[in-house]
Amino acid sequence: MKSEKPKKIFFVASEGESEESYARMLSLFATEMNLDIRIKRAYLYGGSPSVMTNEAIKKSDQYDQRVPKQRKIFIKAIFLDTDNATKAEISKITTELKRHGFIIIWQKPNHEDFLWRHFNGKGRIPPGPGKIKEDFKKFWPDYEKNYPAENLKKKIDLSKIIEVAHSLKNEGDDGFLALLEKMGLSKG
């Protein structure tokens, strides 16, 4: 009987459908590069960051138990916005998620600002909510929440994703780069 090579399984939780679509886009890049990974996306249906954290932990534990240990390398990640959490809550949530082995991608303050970084030079910090909406209309007139992954991939190339990950790391947040490295996407 042939033993199956362990497959990297990524459990990627997100608070919204837009983040889930972004995770699916990463999966499309991985497929295109023939990477032997599988991304299990988990939509958390919004709520407070604490509620979503608990839900992500619960869902990842349930999913982890369904796949035989000898056939997988299980990596957990979560996309969360900072706009509905205080600094103290962010610190507490970060500690809890790390205790459960999660890679955390904090979107400051939200997913649209995270996306904006992909279009505006070296992943730089967004200017603020009002300016973001203006800019989106200029460079992405048909943008809407839950933009389909296939269309998202046509708008955002892997080099921009890697650029954003390095920019975030330079700002002290290495979660996104860690996720890309573990997926094998960080070299483009």
CATH of the domain at 62: 3.40.50
- The predicted structure's pLDDT at residue 4: 60
Domain assignment of residue 131, given as a range: 7-183
Question: H or E segment at 39?
Answer: strand 37-43
Hunting for tokens 């900072």 — which residue is that? 82
In a domain, 188, yes or no: no
Angle formed at CA 110 by CA 14 and CA 10, multiple of 5 degrees:
25
In a domain, 2, yes or no: no
Say what percent of the chain tops pLDDT 90.
63
* Spans of the chain, pLDDT less than 50: 1
In a domain, 131, yes or no: yes
In a domain, 126, yes or no: yes
Q: What is the pLDDT of residues 104-152, one digit of tens each?
A: 999 998 898 899 899 877 677 777 766 777 777 787 888 888 899 999 9
In a domain, 41, yes or no: yes
In a domain, 21, yes or no: yes
Per the structure, the count of domains in the chain is 1
What does the block give as tokens for 33? Answer: 């590069």
pTM to 2 decimal places: 0.91
List of residues 6+ apart from 185 with CB closer than 8 A: 26, 29, 30, 33, 35, 158, 161, 162
- The predicted structure's pLDDT at residue 1: 47
List of residues 6+ apart from 177 with CB closer than 8 A: 165, 166, 168, 169, 186
In a domain, 15, yes or no: yes
In a domain, 1, yes or no: no
